[in-house]
Amino acid sequence: MNDSRQLKIVVVNSLVAPAGAGPALQAQAERARALRIGLLENGYNILAALPPDADLAEQIAQLQPDVIIVDEQSDAALKKVVDATVNAPRPIVCFTQDKDRQKMHAAIEAGVSAYVVEGLSAERVMAVMDVALARFEVDQKLRHELSETKLKLAERKVIERAKGLLMERHHCTEDEAYRRLRRLAMDKNLKLSEVAQRMLDVADLLL
C-alpha cells in the first residue's frame, strides 16, 4: 500500500434523493455526493457507489474492493458490509452524523477501521483514509499474532499430552518421551505437534 490513492474503493450511500424527499434525505444525498467528490478530488479510484439496499455481499464479492466506505446508513447496511468481509477482511470506513457512543464502539468491535462523526469535507478525506488503512494494518497484525499464539499454545498442549502418554506406556522420563517424539517427527518429516496429534488419535481409537 505504497500509494493509498491507488486502492479500489466501493462507496455505500444514497446516490440521489428520491422524488419528494424531505430536507433530511436531501441533505443525506448531498453528503453522499460531497463524499464521492472528495474522494475523486483526492485521486481515489471509486469502483462503484452502491445504494444501501443493494445485495452488498454479492457486489463486494464481484468487485473485490480494497476499501469499503459506508456513508450515513442504517445499522443493517453496515452489518451487511461487515458480514460480507468476514472471510476477506479489508478496511471499512464509516462516515456518520450519529453520535451514539455505543454504536461507535459496536462498529469498531465489528471490524470498522474508522468511524467518523460529522465534519465530512474534501480536505479530511485523505487524512481519514490514511488513518483507516494504518489502523487496519495494525489490527490485522495483532489478529495474526493472536492467532499464532493460540496455535502455538494448542500445539504445546498436544505435545504435552503425547509426552504423558509415552511416559505412561513406556515408563520413561519426560526428556526420553520428548526425544522419542522428536525422532518420530524427523523420521516422518512432520512437525512435532503433528506426530503428537497422530499418536493421540491412534490412542483414542484403541480405547
Structural Rg of the chain based on CA atoms: 26
Q: What is the 3-state secondary structure (H, E, C) of the chain?
A: CCCHHHCEEEEECCCCCCCCCCHHHHHHHHHHHHHHHHHHHCCCEEEEEECCCCCHHHHHHHHCCCEEEEECCCHHHHHHHHHHCCCCCCCEEEEECCCCHHHHHHHHHHCCCEEEECCCCHHHHHHHHHHHHHHHHHHHHHHHHHHHHHHHHHHHHHHHHHHHHHHHHHCCCHHHHHHHHHHHHHHHCCCHHHHHHHHHHHHHHCC
Mean pLDDT (the chain) is: 83
The per-residue pLDDT for 143 is 84
Return the number of other C-beta atoms located less than 10 Å from residue 198's C-beta: 15
CB neighbour list of residue 56: distance below 8 Å, 6 or more residues apart: 12, 50, 77, 80, 81, 84
For residues 74 and 53, what is the distance between their CA atoms, to the nearest angstrom?
10
The per-residue pLDDT for 12 is 87
**129 pLDDT higher than 90:** no
Give the pLDDT confidence of 31-88 residue by residue, as tens digits.
777 778 888 888 888 888 888 888 888 999 999 999 998 876 667 778 888 888 888 8
Task: Return the closest-CA partner of residue 85 out of 106, 105, 67, 107.
Answer: 67
For residues 101 and 191, which has the higher predicted lDDT (pLDDT)? 191
Global pTM value: 0.67
